[in-house]
Amino acid sequence: MMILVMFMFIPPMLLTPADQAFSDASYVYEPMMDGVRLILSRKGKETRIWTSDRTECTRQFPEPLSVPVEGDVILDGAACSINPDTGLNEVKLVKDRLRLKKSGRIRSYAAQRPVSYVVWDILFYNGRDLRRLAADQKALHPRSRNAVRRQLLLGVSG
Protein backbone atom coordinates (compact mmCIF):
# COMPACT_ATOMS: atom_id res chain seq x y z
CA MET A 1 0.00 0.00 0.00
CA MET A 2 1.27 3.48 -0.86
CA ILE A 3 2.19 5.78 2.03
CA LEU A 4 0.82 9.29 1.51
CA VAL A 5 1.44 12.64 3.08
CA MET A 6 -1.31 13.49 5.56
CA PHE A 7 -3.66 16.23 4.33
CA MET A 8 -5.47 18.40 6.83
CA PHE A 9 -8.73 18.59 4.83
CA ILE A 10 -10.30 15.99 2.56
CA PRO A 11 -13.74 16.64 1.06
CA PRO A 12 -16.25 14.08 2.31
CA MET A 13 -18.14 11.69 0.08
CA LEU A 14 -21.58 13.17 -0.44
CA LEU A 15 -24.92 11.43 -0.52
CA THR A 16 -26.24 10.35 -3.88
CA PRO A 17 -29.95 11.00 -4.34
CA ALA A 18 -32.10 8.18 -5.68
CA ASP A 19 -35.59 8.28 -7.17
CA GLN A 20 -36.72 5.32 -5.06
CA ALA A 21 -35.57 3.45 -1.98
CA PHE A 22 -33.74 0.25 -2.82
CA SER A 23 -32.15 -2.73 -1.16
CA ASP A 24 -29.00 -4.38 -2.42
CA ALA A 25 -26.66 -6.74 -0.56
CA SER A 26 -23.64 -5.09 -2.20
CA TYR A 27 -24.35 -1.80 -0.35
CA VAL A 28 -23.75 -0.92 3.29
CA TYR A 29 -26.58 1.07 4.89
CA GLU A 30 -26.11 3.36 7.87
CA PRO A 31 -28.68 5.26 9.90
CA MET A 32 -29.15 8.93 9.07
CA MET A 33 -28.06 11.24 11.88
CA ASP A 34 -29.22 14.84 11.60
CA GLY A 35 -26.20 17.00 12.31
CA VAL A 36 -23.36 18.95 10.76
CA ARG A 37 -20.83 17.06 8.65
CA LEU A 38 -17.33 17.46 10.12
CA ILE A 39 -13.90 16.33 8.97
CA LEU A 40 -11.57 15.81 11.93
CA SER A 41 -7.85 15.74 11.15
CA ARG A 42 -5.17 14.91 13.70
CA LYS A 43 -1.47 15.09 12.88
CA GLY A 44 0.89 14.74 15.80
CA LYS A 45 -0.50 16.82 18.65
CA GLU A 46 -2.54 19.13 16.39
CA THR A 47 -6.22 18.44 15.75
CA ARG A 48 -8.36 20.55 13.46
CA ILE A 49 -11.99 20.33 12.42
CA TRP A 50 -13.73 21.55 9.26
CA THR A 51 -17.25 21.57 7.90
CA SER A 52 -17.78 19.91 4.53
CA ASP A 53 -17.46 23.31 2.81
CA ARG A 54 -13.94 23.83 4.29
CA THR A 55 -14.91 26.22 7.06
CA GLU A 56 -12.57 25.61 9.97
CA CYS A 57 -14.56 25.18 13.19
CA THR A 58 -12.06 23.65 15.62
CA ARG A 59 -12.81 26.29 18.30
CA GLN A 60 -16.59 25.80 18.06
CA PHE A 61 -16.45 22.03 18.66
CA PRO A 62 -14.09 21.15 21.53
CA GLU A 63 -15.79 17.79 22.25
CA PRO A 64 -14.38 15.87 19.25
CA LEU A 65 -10.86 17.09 20.05
CA SER A 66 -10.60 14.33 22.65
CA VAL A 67 -11.62 11.51 20.28
CA PRO A 68 -9.72 8.47 21.64
CA VAL A 69 -7.47 7.68 18.66
CA GLU A 70 -3.70 7.45 18.69
CA GLY A 71 -1.67 8.40 15.66
CA ASP A 72 -2.33 10.59 12.66
CA VAL A 73 -5.90 10.25 11.42
CA ILE A 74 -8.56 11.92 9.29
CA LEU A 75 -12.15 11.06 10.23
CA ASP A 76 -15.39 11.81 8.42
CA GLY A 77 -18.38 12.21 10.70
CA ALA A 78 -21.17 14.40 11.98
CA ALA A 79 -21.69 16.52 15.08
CA CYS A 80 -25.11 15.76 16.57
CA SER A 81 -26.85 17.25 19.60
CA ILE A 82 -29.77 16.13 21.72
CA ASN A 83 -32.18 18.86 22.77
CA PRO A 84 -32.30 18.61 26.59
CA ASP A 85 -35.96 19.71 26.63
CA THR A 86 -37.30 17.23 24.06
CA GLY A 87 -34.73 14.43 24.04
CA LEU A 88 -34.65 14.64 20.24
CA ASN A 89 -31.64 15.05 17.97
CA GLU A 90 -31.65 18.66 16.68
CA VAL A 91 -29.36 19.95 13.97
CA LYS A 92 -30.23 23.56 14.91
CA LEU A 93 -28.33 23.17 18.20
CA VAL A 94 -25.23 22.15 16.25
CA LYS A 95 -25.62 24.91 13.66
CA ASP A 96 -25.92 27.46 16.48
CA ARG A 97 -22.35 26.51 17.44
CA LEU A 98 -20.99 27.47 14.05
CA ARG A 99 -21.97 31.09 14.66
CA LEU A 100 -20.22 31.34 18.04
CA LYS A 101 -16.93 33.25 18.20
CA LYS A 102 -16.35 34.03 21.89
CA SER A 103 -14.58 31.37 23.96
CA GLY A 104 -16.89 31.82 26.96
CA ARG A 105 -20.01 31.22 24.85
CA ILE A 106 -18.43 28.19 23.20
CA ARG A 107 -17.57 26.68 26.63
CA SER A 108 -21.10 27.40 27.84
CA TYR A 109 -22.68 25.68 24.82
CA ALA A 110 -20.30 22.72 25.17
CA ALA A 111 -21.34 22.31 28.81
CA GLN A 112 -25.09 22.88 28.37
CA ARG A 113 -25.62 21.59 24.81
CA PRO A 114 -22.81 19.11 24.14
CA VAL A 115 -22.36 17.49 20.76
CA SER A 116 -21.51 13.91 19.97
CA TYR A 117 -19.18 13.23 17.07
CA VAL A 118 -20.54 10.28 15.10
CA VAL A 119 -17.73 8.84 12.96
CA TRP A 120 -18.86 7.53 9.57
CA ASP A 121 -15.51 6.68 8.04
CA ILE A 122 -11.77 6.64 8.61
CA LEU A 123 -10.22 8.34 5.59
CA PHE A 124 -6.52 8.24 6.52
CA TYR A 125 -4.65 6.53 9.33
CA ASN A 126 -0.92 7.00 9.97
CA GLY A 127 -0.31 8.08 6.38
CA ARG A 128 -2.37 5.33 4.77
CA ASP A 129 -5.22 6.29 2.47
CA LEU A 130 -8.18 4.09 3.44
CA ARG A 131 -10.81 5.74 1.25
CA ARG A 132 -10.70 3.12 -1.47
CA LEU A 133 -11.15 0.20 0.92
CA ALA A 134 -14.62 -1.29 0.88
CA ALA A 135 -16.17 -1.92 4.29
CA ASP A 136 -15.76 -5.67 3.86
CA GLN A 137 -12.05 -5.26 3.04
CA LYS A 138 -11.17 -3.73 6.40
CA ALA A 139 -9.86 -7.08 7.65
CA LEU A 140 -7.03 -6.79 5.09
CA HIS A 141 -5.58 -3.89 7.07
CA PRO A 142 -6.07 -4.83 10.72
CA ARG A 143 -3.36 -2.49 11.97
CA SER A 144 -5.01 0.56 10.49
CA ARG A 145 -8.79 0.70 10.07
CA ASN A 146 -9.64 -1.94 12.70
CA ALA A 147 -7.24 -0.43 15.23
CA VAL A 148 -8.88 2.98 14.87
CA ARG A 149 -12.38 1.52 15.12
CA ARG A 150 -11.41 -0.35 18.29
CA GLN A 151 -9.99 2.85 19.79
CA LEU A 152 -13.12 4.82 18.89
CA LEU A 153 -15.55 2.21 20.21
CA LEU A 154 -13.72 1.23 23.36
CA GLY A 155 -11.67 4.31 24.09
CA VAL A 156 -8.51 2.19 24.21
CA SER A 157 -5.38 2.09 22.09
CA GLY A 158 -4.17 -0.72 19.86
pLDDT tens digits, 62-79: 999 988 888 888 998 899
The model carries a pTM of: 0.74
* 11-21 per-position pLDDT tens digit: 766 667 778 87
Please report the sign of the dihedral spanned by the C-alpha atoms of residue 130, residue 132, residue 135, residue 140.
negative
**Reduced to 3 states, what is the DSSP secondary structure of residue 148?**
helix
Q: Is 86 left (phi over 0), alpha (psi -120 to 50) or beta?
A: alpha
Provide the residue type at 119 as one letter.
V
Average pLDDT of every residue of the chain: 78
Read off the pLDDT of residues 28-58 as tens digits, 9 standing for 90 and up. 666 667 789 999 999 988 999 999 888 999 9
How far from 87 is each of 101, 107, 113, 115, CA to CA, in Å? 27, 21, 12, 13
Q: At 106, phi and psi to the nearest 5?
A: -65, -45
Q: Which residues contact 69 (CB under 8 A, 6 or more apart)?
A: 42, 75, 148, 151, 152
